[in-house]
Amino acid sequence: MELGNEIDRQVNAKVIALYKKAQRLEHTGIIAIIPTFRALFVQFDPERVRPEALQERLLSMLDDLDYEDAPGRRWTLPACYGEEFGPDLAEIARQTGLSANEVRETHAGAHYFVYMIGFLPGYAYMGDVPEAIRVPRRENPRTRLPRGSVAVAGQVTSIYPLESPGGWSLIARTPVPMFDPAADMPVLLAPGDLVAFEPVSPSEFAAIERDIASGAYTVQAEGAS
């Protein structure tokens, strides 16, 4: 179900509202419901539910859809910028005409709305990156990026939850896991959440990483989802 054709907070708020409402459907034939930037994807078994009946039910939800552009949980994630943690920071500075420190402060000074989860488990597409530091995707994608890499491309920023290939510019890295299959809630972030980054030094990054491994450090969200 497509509700718009661009990355827009109001469109996404409508998608999330429809997503939450559709989750209450009692059709046993529904396999998965997935919200995206501008659309809701519904996977179903046509042998267990008639497509026409499901479509009619979903369309009827749009008539009295109550939605607002309001974030869910609020997260503050530690991130180490530049050098080995954000190897493209200097290039972003060159492309934007800013200093490396200005790029760092601009990225860390914004709050990012989680539009959707996709590509990898726990990979959150977040916006909106301030205009001053928007850069396009890299011409030559990397074949391997470290887990926790914070990347930017256009108006979107994200965190790679697993080691993987990627074509976005790396600006920082966070030690906080975005995806843990052994956890009660394997995926940390959810559509509608609001995320801020708190710059930390390499030594602070290493300390947090050790504390996470020992169970002495957990990141907590504010607010309800």
Predicted pLDDT of residue 88 = 98
Measured in residues, the chain has a length of 225
- Beta strand 156-159 pairing with 124-127: antiparallel
Residue segments in the chain with a per-residue pLDDT below the cut of 70: 27, 68-71, 224-225
Find out if CATH 3.90.700.10 is the number for domain 9-61.
Answer: no
Query: Which of 159, 132, 181, 131 shows the shortest CA–CA distance to 75?
Result: 159
Q: What pLDDT shows up at residue 66?
A: 77
Strands 194-199 and 74-81: parallel
pTM for the whole structure: 0.87
211-225 per-residue burial string, b: 16 or more CB within 10 A, e: under 16: eeeeeeeeeebeeee
Contact 180, 172 (CB under 8 A): no
Is domain 74-214 in CATH 2.40.100.10, yes or no? Answer: yes
Chain centroid to Cα 52, Å, comes to 33
Domain layout of the chain by residue ranges = 9-61, 74-214
pLDDT score for 115: 93
What is the reported pLDDT for 3?
Answer: 92
